[in-house]
């Protein structure tokens, strides 16, 4: 819904895949946000993610070759996705970009003005909180104090949102999705850090204000893909020591199989 496969994948040195939303049915899954929920795997490799994805989508798995890296058009997301990176993520992401360039990829810096539109929608309360509150409203009314305080605070944010505000945000998001799809037509994938920071400790997340700030930071880059209805995958960045970090590749909705082929090639490059 906002990064629940890619974030743990990045923080644990694994591969996390978020499919195009319509690819895998959410029937039988407990909902959070009907507009943004999607179901994807976490695995040790791109190929294992592709196999799990095929099973969940009801497809017959078809082995695939890695896409050629030479002349692959990779856009490096600029602006907000690269802001306030910690030293580990900044260093490893920069090293990965250098390796992609050395492999013959055609890199371009991509300024995404449409992120301002996403920020406007989320600044008015956002679609996902309203839909999550709808799912949990009765539970909040009956047993609010029994719910984790951090979770409860996030759900309660939408209690007073009007139907008109919600519908307006849904309509604005639909226009932004179409615009982003057109914006990504000239590149094969968008590349950015999966999370701006490595995993925080449980102890440092204990204060409510720190939890809210760092949770939002961890969700910042991945939730963008859900808002714009893209497919995306997180690959482990090479490390000699320290905590894991991830590289996220983002493709247009419906380009899941193409994304797997590209991710397999990048995975091989980074492991070399």
Q: Which two tokens stand for residue 245?
A: 């970090």
Nearest-CA neighbor of 176 among 101, 135, 227, 212? 227
Q: What is the pLDDT of residue 240?
A: 85
Closest to 36 in 3D by CA, of 131, 125, 121: 131
Element (H, E) at 232: strand 231-236
Question: pTM for this one?
Answer: 0.96
Read off the pLDDT band of 60 (50, 70, 90). Answer: confident
CA 75 to centroid of chain Cα atoms? 16
Cα radius of gyration rounded to whole Å, the chain: 19
Q: Tens digits of per-residue pLDDT, 209-230? A: 999 999 999 999 999 999 999 9
Q: 187 with 110: CB under 8 angstroms? A: yes
pLDDT digits over 224-270, tens only? Answer: 999 999 999 999 999 989 999 999 999 999 999 999 999 999 999 99
Of 45, 44, 1, give the one whose Cα is nearest residue 19. 1
Contact between 81 and 192 (Cβ < 8 Å): yes
247, 239, 223, 120: which is closest to 173 by C-alpha? 120
């Amino acid at each position: 819904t906002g990064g629940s496969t890619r974030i743990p994948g990045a923080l644990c040195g694994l591969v996390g895949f978020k499919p195009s939303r319509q690819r895998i049915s959410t029937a039988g899954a407990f909902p959070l946000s009907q507009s943004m929920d999607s179901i994807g795997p976490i695995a040790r490799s791109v190929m294992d993610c592709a196999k799990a994805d095929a099973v969940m989508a009801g497809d017959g798995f078809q082995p695939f070759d890695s896409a050629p890296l030479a002349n692959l058009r990779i856009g490096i997301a600029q602006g907000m996705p690269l802001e306030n990176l910690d030293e580990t993520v900044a260093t490893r992401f920069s090293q990965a970009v250098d390796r992609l360039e050395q492999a013959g990829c055609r890199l371009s810096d991509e300024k995404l003005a449409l992120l301002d539109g996403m920020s406007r929608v989320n600044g008015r309360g956002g679609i996902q909180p309203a839909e999550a509150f709808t799912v949990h409203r009765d539970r909040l009314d009956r047993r609010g104090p029994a719910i984790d305080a951090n979770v409860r605070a996030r759900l309660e944010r939408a209690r007073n949102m009007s139907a008109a505000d919600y519908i307006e945000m849904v309509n604005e998001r639909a226009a932004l999705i179409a615009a982003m799809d057109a914006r990504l037509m000239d590149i094969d994938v968008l590349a950015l850090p999966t999370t701006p920071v490595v995993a925080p400790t449980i102890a440092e997340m204990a204060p409510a204000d720190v939890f809210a700030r760092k949770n939002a930071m961890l969700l910042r880059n991945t939730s963008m893909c859900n808002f714009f209805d893209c497919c995306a995958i997180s690959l482990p960045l090479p490390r000699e020591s320290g905590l894991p970090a991830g590289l996220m590749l983002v493709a247009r909705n419906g380009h899941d199989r193409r994304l797997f082929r590209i991710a397999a090639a990048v995975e091989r490059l980074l492991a070399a």
